[in-house]
Amino acid sequence: MDIASGLMLGLQTALQPEILLYCFIGVFLGTLIGVLPGIGALAAISLLLPITFNLEPTAAIVMLAGVYYGAQYGGSTAAILLNLPGTPSSAVTCLDGYPMAKQGRAGVALFMVTIASFVGSMLGIAVLVAFAPGIAEIGLRFGAAEYFSLMLLGLVAASTLSVGSPIKGLAMVMLGLLLGTVGTDINSGVPRFDFDIPELMDAISLVAVAMAIFGVAELIASINFKRDGTAKSIITLRSMVPTRQDLKQSALPMLRGTGIGSFLGALPGTGPTIASFMSYAVEKRVAKDPSRFGKGAIEGVTAPEASNNAAAQTAFVPTLSLGIPGDAVMALMLGALIIHGIQPGPMLMTEQPELFWGLIVSFAIGNIMLVILNLPLVGIWVSILRIPYHVLYPAILVFICLGVYSVNNNVFDIYMTAGLGVMGYLLLKLRFEAAPLLLGFVLGPMMEENLRRALLLSRGDPGTFIERPISAVVLALCAALLLWTLYTALKRGMKRREQEQDRIPE
């Protein structure tokens, strides 16, 4: 099927009233979650995952995807008005968005961010349409060895390129892989790490892990959350009109941000957060007067927002075309697809074209809905920021318990969520990122399956991984990434020691 026929098929699917309704619900909830600091798209998707079990697969995935890219739009509202990012990828928007709000230009910042998000998303969708079919065609030539190597690259990249310490990232990947081994072995039927607890024989629930480390842990961390009163600002449609200079200064940064986001979003281990920070750094470097940044430069909000929204769309390229998630949100989306009986990968496009193309077209429709939601209704989002957290968060905790229980109708899953939630909070306090853990948990069983299959086909010869050209190149990339991480960690350690020695008085 060519791209034009695929888009026509997708249009027929996405314009069905049921799909439109769930697309709207997804982007509305995504914006709401993005506006509220401390919750995030991951926690929201984890919360909604059990609710989608009774939905038709296309409607369910369209809604969950809407939550993801909707949160990218909403995340900037709190960043501009409160100096608190609603999502990690909006953190860089605080640097210039909040100074703009203090200068009385909050309305202009919100308007330009919405336009930048729309431009980034739509161009990101164009990249998705252009490259996903080609990558899926290449993916058809992949065997078990190539899939294992690619998944390994995804895990290594996620742990070493993520924000924070690479060593801690690797530790979290290992913890995720360990949690993924719990349960009955698929090949031999031998129970593993079940500690004679019957509930663990069916493995740890993905929903319980996701809700615990992203939902419960974030809620515990938000108990001491403080905010200031900037949200009391009144935003009118008149105050949102940008000047000609604002539009002129934003045009090229939006395009550059989109390019950076589209490229980084499709790579494993990067995602919208790294894309937005990198885009900001590029704008500061190419600016004629870099001293304007951090004081309310319009490029400082438009480029990162275009970048993170483009990355959110192109992140679906490896997930849909190869079945390999690049970050934790995509890992959760992959889990959602599998729960609904859909196997992501090269065959998805040929076996379920309605779902694949319907999902892509729904992205474009969802982004148009988001512009409508974010511009005229900005006053509603500002008023939501005034809801006291001591009222909001207990209600979310109740929804978490209901969601976890509804998956298997088992109270044990609630205990498991509570235990993992406390563990997630402790890891958060110790500055361990939770995203690599989830990626390891989702990819671990799939990696094990492909590793075993590749060894069975080669009659136990591990040389099969380096004899096959694609697998060998990907493994070489993994080794290069690990060596680079080790080198930078050693260099950083030596620099720190030198600084400490300089401080010691002679």
CA distance 255 to 130: 17
Mean pLDDT of 147-173: 79
Statement: residue 348 has pLDDT above 60 = yes
Confidence of residue 57 (pLDDT cuts 50, 70, 90): confident
Residue 232 has a pLDDT of 52
pLDDT, tens digit, 9 for 90 and up, residues 402-460: 777 877 778 888 899 899 989 988 988 888 877 788 778 888 888 888 899 899 888 88
Q: Please, are residues 262 and 309 in contact by the beta-carbon 8 Å criterion?
A: no
Q: Please, are residues 192 and 183 in contact by the beta-carbon 8 Å criterion?
A: yes
Closest C-alpha to 224, from 486, 428, 489, 498: 428
pLDDT, tens digit, 9 for 90 and up, residues 169-208: 888 889 989 998 998 887 788 888 888 888 888 888 877 8
Mean pLDDT of 364-385: 80
pLDDT, tens digit, 9 for 90 and up, residues 205-236: 877 887 788 778 877 877 765 555 444 556 67
Residue 369 phi/psi, 5-degree rounding, is: -60, -40
Statement: residue 274 has pLDDT above 70 = yes
Answer with the residue of higher pLDDT: 228 or 140: 140
Statement: residue 42 has pLDDT above 80 = no
Statement: residue 30 has pLDDT above 80 = yes
Confidence of residue 39 (pLDDT cuts 50, 70, 90): low
Residue 178 has a pLDDT of 92
Residue 163 has a pLDDT of 59
pTM: 0.75
Statement: residue 159 has pLDDT above 80 = no
Angle, helices 271-286/244-266, rounded to nearest 10 degrees: 130
**Three-class DSSP category at 192:** strand
Q: Please, are residues 343 and 323 in contact by the beta-carbon 8 Å criterion?
A: yes
Residue 162 has a pLDDT of 61
Q: Tell me the chain's radius of gyration from C-alpha atoms.
A: 23
Statement: residue 495 has pLDDT above 90 = no
Confidence of residue 316 (pLDDT cuts 50, 70, 90): confident
The percentage of the chain sitting over the pLDDT mark of 70, rounded to a whole number, equals 92
Query: Mean pLDDT score of the chain, rounded to an integer?
Result: 82
Answer with the residue of higher pLDDT: 23 or 275: 23
At which residue do the structure tokens 């919360």 appear? 47
Statement: residue 476 has pLDDT above 90 = yes
Statement: residue 378 has pLDDT above 70 = yes
At which residue do the structure tokens 């982004």 appear? 367
Closest C-alpha to 282, from 309, 312, 311, 252: 252
Closest C-alpha to 124, from 182, 72, 49, 193: 72
Answer with the residue of higher pLDDT: 261 or 400: 261
Domain residue spans in the chain?
A: 3-497
Statement: residue 161 has pLDDT above 80 = no
Mean pLDDT of 97-114: 85
Mean pLDDT of 456-466: 88
CA distance 419 to 216: 10
User: Which stretch of 13-17, 236-240, 411-415, 475-479 has the lowest confidence by average pLDDT?
Assistant: 236-240
Length of the chain: 506
Residue 93 has a pLDDT of 83
User: Which stretch of 259-263, 322-326, 385-389 has the lowest confidence by average pLDDT?
Assistant: 385-389
**3-state helix/strand/coil string of 397-452:** HHHHHHHHHHHHCCHHHHHHHHHHHHHHHHHHHCCCCCHHHHHHHHHHHHHHHHHH
Tokens of 463: 């040389």
Mean pLDDT of 255-271: 80
Confidence of residue 100 (pLDDT cuts 50, 70, 90): confident
Residue 224 has a pLDDT of 64
Residue 24 has a pLDDT of 92
Residue 436 has a pLDDT of 81
User: Which stretch of 147-161, 308-322, 379-393, 423-437 has the lowest confidence by average pLDDT?
Assistant: 379-393
Largest CA distance in the chain: 77
